Structures are given as structure tokens and as C-alpha cells.
Amino acid sequence: HILLDAGLPQNLTIGAFDFEKQFEDLLQSFKRFEEKYYINKDGFSGYLLYKPDAEKVKVDAARRAKKTASELTGEEGKGEQAPKEEEPLYCGYSPLPFKQHEKSLHRTQVESFSEAVDRYFSQMEAKKGENALEVKEKQAVKRMDQIKKDQQQRIEGLEEEERRNVMKAE
């Protein structure tokens, strides 16, 4: 963050650092950082980080889970609510708005860093649950397909046996 604020490249190596030309910029950047963040007695707000395209890919896991459950129990349409606006899929959290995130990530500011951490990990846990539900759903569909296939084979076998019995009877 401080290197970028001083106008230095993010991948600057020690050997490439020009002490006489760049030291003053680096020192000023440290001072700005200290004044802005370490002298702040109010505490830090938090930032949730997400990729720009994550806004477009919003999934309402609870609604999908409810729909799947209602389809399996035959209770479709009972007590459905309008879909709510989803949050983007977070890829990180931060106590400060670091410069290295400005170009590649979007951020949402929340009241405190603790809230940012809580929201990030809550979303990760919800995503884990959603993934587990998807795995179970795929397994159930696979089992149903296998049962259908077995039943179809039984039907074909019985039809073949019926044809043989009819031919024997004639």
C-alpha cells in the first residue's frame, strides 16, 4: 500500500530502489499512512472485497434449497416469498482500503472490521452448505436416473418374456 501510494511499482526490488530519488516519496507515504490510520482513535471500519464480475453472479441459495425441498415433498408454491437482493461473493476482507486492491477488486465498507470478518466467514459457511446441498441433490438425481434405468430394463425384460409366452401359446 505504501509503495503504491509513494508512486513506486508494486514489484519493486531493493536493488532497483533509488535511495536518493525515491526515499523522500516513500517517507511521505509512511507519514500519510500513519496520520490517516494510526492516529485514528475511532477504530477502523472494515472492507469486504469482491471481484467486479461477482456482482453479476448472485445466487440465492436459500431460495434454491427451499425450492428443491418443496419439489421433493410436493409442496410447491406454499409460503414463497419474493427473492431478496443478494450480496456479491466476497473474496476477502480488510481493515483498510489498500491501494493494491483498487484496480482488481471492488470493496464494500462496513461499520467495523469485526463486522467485515463476520460477514465474510458467514458467507463462506453458507456457501459450504450450499455446495453440500448441491452434491446431495446431484446424488439424488443420479440415484433416480439409475432407478429409472433399472425399471426400464425390467419392463423390457417382462415385455420380451410376454412375447415369448404368447409365441409358445400359439
Express each pLDDT in 120-163 by its tens digit: 888 888 888 888 999 999 999 999 999 999 999 999 999 999 99
Q: Which letter does DSSP use for residue 92 in this model?
A: E
Residues 148 and 161 in one domain: yes
- State yes or no: pLDDT of 98 exceeds 60: yes
Q: How many domains does the chain have?
A: 2
**Choice between 29 and 67, residue whose per-residue pLDDT is larger:** 29
What per-residue confidence (pLDDT) applies to 9? 60
Is the domain of 122 the same as that of 80?
yes
User: Is 120 found in the same domain as 50?
Assistant: yes
Strand order in the sheet with 106-110: 90-94, 46-50, 106-110
- 58 pLDDT tier (thresholds 50, 70, 90): very low
Using pLDDT thresholds of 50, 70 and 90, give the confidence band for residue 86: low
pTM of the predicted model, to two decimals?
0.48
- Shared-domain flag, residues 84 and 9: no
Q: Quick check: 60 pLDDT over 50?
A: no
Instruction: State whether 34 and 67 are in the same domain.
Output: no
106 and 148 fall within a common domain = yes
Domain that residue 14 falls in = 1-42
Q: Mark whether 101 and 37 lie in a shared domain.
A: no
- Kindly calculate the radius of gyration of the chain based on its CA atoms and give it in whole angstroms: 30
Examine the domain organization and report whether 88 and 157 are in the same domain: yes
Please answer whether residues 50 and 108 qualify as being in contact, where contact means their C-beta atoms are separated by less than 8 angstroms: yes
Whole-number Å distance between alpha carbons of 152 and 150: 5
One domain for residues 91 and 163: yes
Q: Does 65 have pLDDT greater than 80?
A: no
Please compute the mean of the pLDDT values over residues 103-119 and round it to a whole number: 81
**Mean pLDDT rounded to a whole number for the chain:** 72
Looking at the structure, do residues 28 and 51 belong to the same domain, yes or no?
A: no
| 38: Cα within 13 Å, side-chain hemisphere | 6
